[in-house]
Every structure is written in C-alpha cells, then in structure tokens.
Chains A and B, each alone.
Chain A
Amino acid sequence: MAKKKIYNLFPVPIFQYKIENYQEINQELLNYILELQKKNKIGNTHSNRGGWHSPNFDLVNEGPPINFINKFKDFLKHIISSDMGWEYIPNKQRIVAMWAIINKKNSFNVMHNHQNCYLSASYYVRKPEDSGDITFFDPKEAKTYRFPKIEKYTEYSTEIVTIEPEEGDLLIFPSYLYHAVGENLSDDNRVVVSFNIDIGY
C-alpha cells in the first residue's frame, strides 16, 4: 500500500485548563453567585431552559470575579499569543461580560453561540455527575447539511463532540462555535461561570 499522510486542516480549538486550588475560588464564586440570585431571582433568559441565568458580574470592583480572573489571566495571554498566534496587547483584550448559570434538575441549555467577541469560556463551579455535559457542533454547514450515510463516527464524519469537564476546569473556545448543554439528570445544581473575551486592534 502506498504511503499515507493526513493533513488535519483548520481545526477548531478547545482549550482545557485546570484552575489551581479551585476548591477555594469555587466556594468564593458560589457564595457570590447565590447572593446575586437572592437579589435577582428571575434572572435573564438566553440559552437557559429551566435554569437561572445571572445578571452580569461586577468586573470593576474588587471581589470574587476579579480574584477568579487573576487565576487564569496568564493562561489566557498564553493561548492568545502562542496557540492562536494573535497579537497580545494588554489593554486591547478585555472580558466583555461574565455571568453564571445554575441548572437545577431537568434544566439544560439550547444550542447557541456568543456574538461580538472572539473567545468564550465556561468554568465549572459545581458539576455533579450526570448534570449535563457540553456538546459542540461542527461550524461547517457545507459538511453538516448533506453527507453520505455514516457507518462509523470518526473525527471526520461526526458533527458533534461532547466534553465531560470536571469541577475546576476552564474551557475556552472560539465564540462562533455553537454549543449546548445536556439536561441535568442529577438532584443537585450544576453551576457554571461563563465569559466572553473581545480583542481590539
């Protein structure tokens, strides 16, 4: 048989990073989120179905959100400049919004992406077993709209990939990437913090 090589062109990256000493920051974030929920029980409606979507966090004053940002800002700088190869200009990259979602039993998130930013993230504060994994959808419509019968799902034929993160995991991915969250089948709450990053010229 002839020699073979495969070029895997134009991948969509998902960066997975474990926050150091996450137990401590998770407790801080959880307290902050529950305080917000007390003040704003209705929350916002976006992709959340049954779950509570918080108002945006305070990113100006000292507090748990700023403490959290300090835990990953070096990592963020690293993926922007090394992995993505984008120019890193400190005052040009900013977190445009940060919020929390609490999915109680049977809640889930419908497919969505995040507009007007480059990177989006999801961070796991509470992630009970079977509380819903995140599924990503292939952004190439030309591929997902019409295709031959699939006999074996491979990285080339699949159009969805599900990731099972753990508490303390931070996932960062391109904002255009559509994703959804499965139903929480556990009795405990699933709590995530999400945020968007935009970069100016």
Chain B
Amino acid sequence: MKDYKVRRLFSTPVFHFEIENYKKLNTELENYILTLKKKYEKGQKKSNYGGWHSPFFDLVNNSTVKKFVLIIQKFIQKVIIDEIGWKYNSDKVKIAPIWSIVNKKGSFNIQHNHPNAYLSAVYYVRFPENSGNIKFFDPKEQKNIRYPKIKNYTDMSAAITEITPKEGDLLIFPAYLYHAVGENLSEDDRIIISFNVDIENE
C-alpha cells in the first residue's frame, strides 16, 4: 500500500507508573488495610462483588496514609501539569477519597466509573497471578453501539482494553473512563488502593 498517514485523535490516556522501592511501602499499607478490615468487616458496597471495599482512609491522622499521599501527589502533579496540561494549584487539587479493595478468590468488580472527579487511580499492593486484570471500556457510545463485523481487533476497532499490572504499579486515568476488574482466580487476596482527584473551579 502506498504511504498514508494515520492520525490518532482524542485517545483516552492511562498513565502507568512503576513506584520505586515499593515493597516496604506495600507492607506498611497492607498492615493498615488489614487493620481496617478487622475493624470494619462489612466494608462498603460499590462495584465490588464478593470483595471487601474499605471505608475511606483517614487522611488527617494516619502516618502511613500521609506517606502514601506524599508519594502519589508527585505523580498526580506530573500528570496534570506535564501530560494533560491543566492548571495545577495545590490548594485546589483534592486527592480524596482514598480507599482499598480486597478481592479474595472468586471476587471481581463490575463496570463503573467515578463521578465528581477528574482523575481516578489504582495502586497495586498485592497482585497475585490471575487475580483479575483491569479492563477499560471505550467511552464513545456511538462507536460501541453499531459497528461492522470485526475480523481483527485493532486499537481502532477494540471497545475494551485489558491491562495486566504488577505490584507497585500506579495507574492514573480520567474518572469518566468506565472500567471493571476480572474475577480473582488465584487462591490469594488481591489488594489495591484506589483514589479520586478533583480540581475545584477557580
């Protein structure tokens, strides 16, 4: 085929960071989460099926949470300023709420997005093999509702993209982006931390 140009416009970004020296941090976070779990066994009911959804983290008094916030803040700032190009005013950027989900064997998360925030994120504290990947859904309804027969899925015809993360990975993406988590098929718990980022109007 003669040369031609393909411009890929208006894609939805998922920013993927690998946190350095995450092991010690993850042990500390896991202890905090398991303590919360003991205290609030019922948790909350959101997109979690079978899994435990924690109450929202204590952002004021807990030193482990505060340490975590200091780490993620840098990445959020980088995404907002360098990658997306939004104005960053530290007084207006709110990282809240922050919560955890523990998916034991057989648990999963149904498709959902995060209203009233601009960015959402997920951080992997424990991620056993086959414990459930995250799937993202194309936000363009007009493309998903009617399309020709698909022979090969390409980045332009796919309506779903699955990402396989590792422990210590942080994914940041637009809060409107629908996502779901596959069933945990391993024997071990999958533990993640999730949070929203909102920016107040100026």
Contacts and interface: CB of A to CB of B under 8 A. Distances in A.
Interface stretch (A29-37, A62-70, A82-90, A120-128): A82-90
A94 interface: no
A88 B161 CA distance: 23
B5 interface: yes
9 closest Cβ pairs, A-B complex: A11-B8, A152-B85, A142-B176, A8-B11, A85-B152, A11-B11, A85-B154, A199-B148, A154-B85
Most central of B18, B20, B140 by chain A CB within 10 Å: B140
Interface stretch (A15-23, A38-46, A50-58): A15-23
A4 B1 contact: no
Nearest to A200: B148
A136 B143 CA distance: 16
Interface of A: 2-18, 20, 74-75, 78-88, 118, 136, 138-140, 142-143, 147-157, 159, 161, 163, 174, 176, 199, 201
Nearest to B116: A146
B69 interface: no
A78 B1 contact: yes
A74 B140 contact: no
B163 A151 contact: no
B176 to A, nearest CB: 4
Interface string B8-52: 111111111111100000000000000000000000000000000
Contacts of B148: 80, 84, 86-87, 118, 199, 201
Contacts of B87: 148-151
A201 B148 CA distance: 7
A13 B4 contact: no
B85 A6 contact: no
A152 B82 CA distance: 9
A10 B160 CA distance: 9
A15 B161 contact: no
Interface size class of B (residues with CB under 8 A): 35 or more
Nearest to A153: B85
Nearest to B146: A118
A147 B157 contact: no
Contacts of A142: 139, 174, 176
A4 B16 contact: yes
A84 B157 CA distance: 5
Given A9-B136, A9-B177, 4 more contacts: A3-B17, A7-B13, A85-B153, A150-B87
B62 interface: no
B199 interface: yes
B18 A2 contact: yes
Contacts of A2: 17-20, 75, 170
Contact of B118 (A136, A138, A148, A153): A148
Contacts of A16: 4-7
Given A5-B16, A86-B157, A11 B10 contact: yes
24 contacts: A7-B13, A9-B12, A9-B13, A9-B136, A9-B138, A9-B177, A10-B138, A10-B140, A11-B155, A12-B10, A15-B6, A17-B4, A80-B148, A84-B156, A87-B148, A118-B147, A138-B9, A140-B12, A148-B199, A150-B86, A154-B83, A154-B85, A161-B9, A199-B148
